[in-house]
């Protein structure tokens, strides 16, 4: 099975170029930073927590880690 996967990667040119950061984990990380930052900014501005941006930022961070681990596990470079 691994040999077939490696052969398919070579045929379609996946993973042959220089390693770069995958786009999905990068975008989830940016969303996490943006929403957590917005939630913290609102806390300092108004003195109370905004739960939606903080929770969405946490979910985005978790999705970023999961998608990065998945891409790394599959050894894809696309």
Under 8 Å between Cβ of 53 and 42: yes
pLDDT of residue 33: 96
- ∠ at Cα 14 (3, 73), nearest 5°? 65
pLDDT reported for residue 55 = 95
Closest CA to 27 of 55, 70, 64: 64
* Lookup result for tokens 């691994």: 2
pLDDT at 57: 95
Q: How far is residue 26 from each of residues 23, 50, 60, 69, measured CA to CA in Å?
A: 5, 24, 10, 12
pLDDT in tens, 24-67: 899 999 999 999 999 999 889 988 888 999 999 999 999 999 99
Confidence (pLDDT) at 58: 96
- pTM, whole model, 2 decimals? 0.67
Kindly tell me if the per-residue pLDDT of 11 is higher than 60.
Answer: yes
């Amino acid at each position: 099975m691994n040999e077939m996967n490696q052969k398919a990667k070579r045929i379609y040119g996946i993973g042959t170029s220089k390693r770069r950061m995958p786009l999905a984990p990068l975008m989830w990380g940016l969303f996490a930073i943006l929403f957590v930052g917005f939630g913290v900014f609102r806390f300092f501005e108004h003195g109370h927590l905004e739960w939606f941006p903080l929770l969405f930022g946490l979910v985005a961070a978790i999705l970023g880690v999961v998608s990065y681990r998945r891409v790394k596990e599959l050894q894809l470079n696309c």
